[in-house]
Amino acid sequence: MGKTKDIRQAVESELNYDPLVDATNITVKNISGEVALNGTVPSYPQYLEAAAAAQRVSGVKNVHNHLEVALPPGDHRDDATLTTTANNALEFNVTVPDSVEATAKNGNITLTGTADYGTERAAAELTVAGLTGVRNLKDDIQISNDADPVDVTLLVQDALDRYALIPDNSDVVVDTNSNTVTLSGHVRTWAEHDAVVDAAWMATGVYDVRDDLYITA
């Protein structure tokens, strides 16, 4: 019981410490390192940052982000305005492919089109995530490149072997089937976890990444 309370209190403290999060309306629950965030935040970037803040806390194994974005009255944008704003932002970002488009409905942005790499998908997400009026984001961008699953597995494993954050004795296993990479094994921290997932998304031909990694913290 004491450990459960300690983790919950530590997450609450981290949320209050983070200047990018207004934690006024956030409640935290913890069961054996499985942390749930409930309540509301005033923007989508705060929705993302709250989860990132919780992941930084020692002992947190998983974060279930149930927060909702409750936009302040002045931040609401109608569908046409937000769609135009999002597509303009994508057009001016040189790292986002020209085929990627955004559509807004009730503050929810959907991204469609094609990209060559997972990093281009991530760039498109980042481009629109911070726009005023965004409540949520769905990424339906497809990866257009194809590659042999064996080659993808080797590329990702080689990248992991190079990364400073990932120890030489790591038991992370990379398996590719139909261009979906499945990651399994143990990592020590969320920073190590994110490094492994990012490495998988960088490989040419990766359509999806299944995250079965286990945080040992």
Could you tell me the residue range of the domain that residue 57 belongs to?
2-69
Q: Say if CB 21 and CB 28 are below 8 A apart.
A: no
Kindly report whether the global pTM for this prediction surpasses the value 0.85: no
Same domain for 93 and 50, yes or no, is no
> Domain count of the chain?
3
When pLDDT is averaged across residues 66-76 and rounded to a whole number, the result is 96
Same domain for 119 and 60, yes or no, is no
Same domain for 174 and 203, yes or no, is yes
Which of 16, 36, 69 delimits the end of a domain? 69
Look up the CATH number of the domain holding residue 33.
3.30.1340.30
When pLDDT is averaged across residues 24-36 and rounded to a whole number, the result is 96
Q: Where is pLDDT greater, at 183 or 1? A: 183
The 3-class SS string of the chain reads CHHHHHHHHHHHHHHHHCCCCCHHHEEEEEECCEEEEEEEECCHHHHHHHHHHHHCCCCCCEEEECCEECCCHHHCCCHHHHHHHHHHHHHCCCCCCCCCEEEEECCEEEEECEECCHHHHHHHHHHHHCCCCCCEEEECCEECCCCCHHHHHHHHHHHHHHCCCCCCCCCCEEEEECCEEEEEEEECCHHHHHHHHHHHHHCCCCCEEEEEEEECC
Which of 45, 69, 93 delimits the end of a domain? 69
Which of 143, 164, 182 delimits the end of a domain? 143
Q: Is the pLDDT of residue 4 over 70?
A: no
Same domain for 7 and 58, yes or no, is yes
Same domain for 210 and 154, yes or no, is yes
How many residues are given for the chain? Answer: 217
Of 132, 138, 135, residue with least CA distance to 84 = 132
What integer pLDDT is reported at residue 1 of this predicted model? 47
Same domain for 84 and 39, yes or no, is no
Look up the CATH number of the domain holding residue 111.
3.30.1340
CA–CA dist 213, 41 (Å, integer): 28
Same domain for 125 and 84, yes or no, is yes
List pLDDT tens digits, range 73-124: 999 999 999 999 999 999 999 999 999 999 999 999 999 999 988 889 889 9
Same domain for 158 and 119, yes or no, is no
Same domain for 188 and 204, yes or no, is yes
Same domain for 155 and 210, yes or no, is yes
Same domain for 14 and 54, yes or no, is yes
